Amino acid sequence: MKRKVLSMVLATAMAMGLLCGCGGEKEPTTTPVESTEAQEAVEETTTAEGEKVTIRMSYWNSEDTMAAMLAFLAEEVPNVEIEYQFIDNSNYDTIIDTQLSAGEGPDIICESPGSALKHARLGYLAPVDDLAAKYSAAGTSIYSYEGSTYALPGISWFEGIWFNKAIFEENQIELPKTFDEYITVCKKFQEMGITPLAAGLKSWEPMLKNSMAFVSAEYLSTEAGSGFGEDYRNGKVTLDGTWNEYVEKWSEMITSGVYTTDMTGVDHDQALEQFATGGAAMFCSGPWDYEAIMAKNPELQLDMMPFYGTQESDGWLIGGPGCGFAVNEASANKEAAMEVLAAISTIEGQAALWENNQGGSSYLDGAAFDLPEAYTSVAGTLAAGNVYCPWNEWGVAASAHETYGTEMQSYLLGTQDLATTLQNVDTAVAELLAK
């Protein structure tokens, strides 16, 4: 009998436990690092001071990259407590999409241009036109939808070619000024037994950015190519038939052995290691890798050069607004979120944002920062405003840039020709645009 009673009690407890677990608050999303203690602390602050509002901000970069800005906001907007939520880039869009479609989500969302456009179209974002007027059109145009702006551009990101100054100087090699000179430089290094470029082609990113930088320099920045992005997102043109000659020329990177099939067995971190420890003269990346490179080799004489087309120019960098700050239309604390965005949209706010993202530039009118020494050779490129990200112009098909990268891997490995490569990207873009 005792056993019977005990078993009934246990079973009831289990069922109750399960039901309790299934229920609960409607706001289940917290960062992994947020513990119950952190939650209690937030509640304590809110209840003790009565008027402090807690809002949530999500981003795909870690909290370190926003540390100075969060400290600035804590001082500048003392009535708002910001819960910073880091979500890994690989799952960021999926998580945010799910939360927004459920009428929830963070109060301030860091948006890529493609997702900002999608969310604006679905009515998830509040317009930020008044604040957007403080920024240059180059930064806000990609966040505009039907006459309104839905996100404010953060510090720009860019990718160029890091190079080891010592290797260049010791071997008396001049910096190239055109694509052909760049290939010649690479060949000279090869003859000397030095790997010219370290590349982690296990990832789809390096060939995407490298080839698109060449197409930007050679075609998209010209009068003939300036309208390509708009035409492409409107389905009027295709890559196949337009980009072939440029990518064909860029393919000298493959035929001259700068990019090799062996590199598909190397990932980004391994390539970075190879470059940082003097195993290669160059490495394509951006400011986000600066700390990692210098940590591996503090003695390294580091500088960055831009990508070039066949004509001599200031060069081009692949990049654009790193993240657009947007406000969730369904937020219960929209006013507080707008207050935070207003604080970011000041010279001081941009300076705080730049603090942990040095190297990039601000789109806020009047905000300019000194360029660190490691970017000396791209100073002219940045001053000329030659920073461009072609897929930012593709609208809701922007995510197809990943397809471009993977198709380029197949092209490198010789499993398909260039026309097929570009056609496959066109198909992926057409599917996304037809949604």
Partner 1 sequence: MELKKKREAGSLGHYFILFILPALIIYLTFSILPFIFTFIYSFTDYTDIKIRNLDFVGLKNYITVLKTPLMKIAIKNSLIYAVVLTGFQVILGLPLAVVLNKKLKSRNLLRAIFFFPAVFSSLIIGYLWNFILSSSDYGLINNMIHQLGFKTINFFTADRALFSVIFTQIWQWTGWAMVIFLANLQGISPELYEAASIDGADERQQFFNITLPLMCPSVKIIVVTGLIGGMKAFDAIYSMTSGGPGNATETVMTVMMKKGISDGFYSVGSAFGVCFFIIVLIVSGFTNKLMSKWSDAIG
Which of 6-14, 34-42, 47-55, 359-367 is the region at the interface with partner 1 (rule: CB under 8 A)? Answer: 6-14
When asked if residue 261 is in the footprint of partner 1 (CB under 8 A), the reply is: yes
When asked if residue 35 is in the footprint of partner 1 (CB under 8 A), the reply is: no
Instruction: Give one word for 24, left, alpha or beta, with left for phi > 0 and alpha for psi -120 to 50.
Output: left
Helix (H) or strand (E) holding 59: strand 53-59
In whole angstroms, the minimum distance from the beta carbon of 406 to partner 1 comes to 6
Structure tokens at 148: 């309104």
- Residues 268 and 200: beta-carbon distance below 8 Å: yes
When asked if residue 3 is in the footprint of partner 1 (CB under 8 A), the reply is: no
When asked if residue 14 is in the footprint of partner 1 (CB under 8 A), the reply is: yes
When asked if residue 328 is in the footprint of partner 1 (CB under 8 A), the reply is: no
Q: Which of 244, 270, 297, 301 binds partner 1 (CB under 8 A)?
A: 270
The backbone torsions φ and ψ at residue 203, rounded to the nearest 5 degrees and listed phi first, read: -90, 150
Q: Which of 274, 345, 350, 357 binds partner 1 (CB under 8 A)?
A: 274
CA–CA gap between residue 323 and residue 55 (Å, rounded): 18
When asked if residue 209 is in the footprint of partner 1 (CB under 8 A), the reply is: no
Token pair 């456009």 is found at 117
Structure tokens at 131: 């604040």
In whole angstroms, the minimum distance from the beta carbon of 363 to partner 1 comes to 27
When asked if residue 381 is in the footprint of partner 1 (CB under 8 A), the reply is: no
Which of 127-135, 258-266, 334-342, 357-365 is the region at the interface with partner 1 (rule: CB under 8 A)? Answer: 258-266
CA–CA gap between residue 157 and residue 388 (Å, rounded): 10
Which of 14-22, 69-77, 154-162, 235-243 is the region at the interface with partner 1 (rule: CB under 8 A)? Answer: 14-22
Give how many residues touch partner 1 by CB under 8 A: 44
Strands (E), 260-383: 280-285, 302-305, 317-321, 324-328
When asked if residue 201 is in the footprint of partner 1 (CB under 8 A), the reply is: yes
When asked if residue 164 is in the footprint of partner 1 (CB under 8 A), the reply is: no
When asked if residue 262 is in the footprint of partner 1 (CB under 8 A), the reply is: yes
Q: What is the gyration radius of the CA atoms in the chain, in angstroms?
A: 25
Name the 3-class secondary structure at 368.
Answer: coil
When asked if residue 190 is in the footprint of partner 1 (CB under 8 A), the reply is: no
- Residues 422 and 244: beta-carbon distance below 8 Å: yes
For partner 1, the closer of residues 56 and 118 by Cβ is 118
Instruction: Give one word for 235, left, alpha or beta, with left for phi > 0 and alpha for psi -120 to 50.
Output: left
Q: Which of 55, 65, 76, 118 binds partner 1 (CB under 8 A)?
A: 118
When asked if residue 311 is in the footprint of partner 1 (CB under 8 A), the reply is: no
In whole angstroms, the minimum distance from the beta carbon of 390 to partner 1 comes to 19
- DSSP letter, residue 370: P
In whole angstroms, the minimum distance from the beta carbon of 50 to partner 1 comes to 38
Q: Which of 409, 418, 422, 426 binds partner 1 (CB under 8 A)?
A: 409
Query: Which DSSP string do the residues of 145-201 spell out, in sequence order?
Result: ETTEE--EE-SEEEEEEEEEHHHHHHTT-PPPSSHHHHHHHHHHHHHTT-EEEE--T
In whole angstroms, the minimum distance from the beta carbon of 273 to partner 1 comes to 6
Q: Which of 176, 407, 418, 422 binds partner 1 (CB under 8 A)?
A: 407
- DSSP letter, residue 86: E
CA–CA gap between residue 105 and residue 33 (Å, rounded): 18
Cα separation values, 362 from 133, 291, 316, 348, Å: 14, 21, 18, 11
Q: Which of 30, 237, 279, 358 binds partner 1 (CB under 8 A)?
A: 279
When asked if residue 435 is in the footprint of partner 1 (CB under 8 A), the reply is: yes
The contact set with partner 1 (CB under 8 A) reads 7-8, 11-12, 14-15, 18, 22, 93-94, 97, 101, 118, 121-122, 201-204, 261-267, 270-271, 273-274, 279, 396, 399, 406-407, 409-410, 412-413, 415-416, 431-432, 435
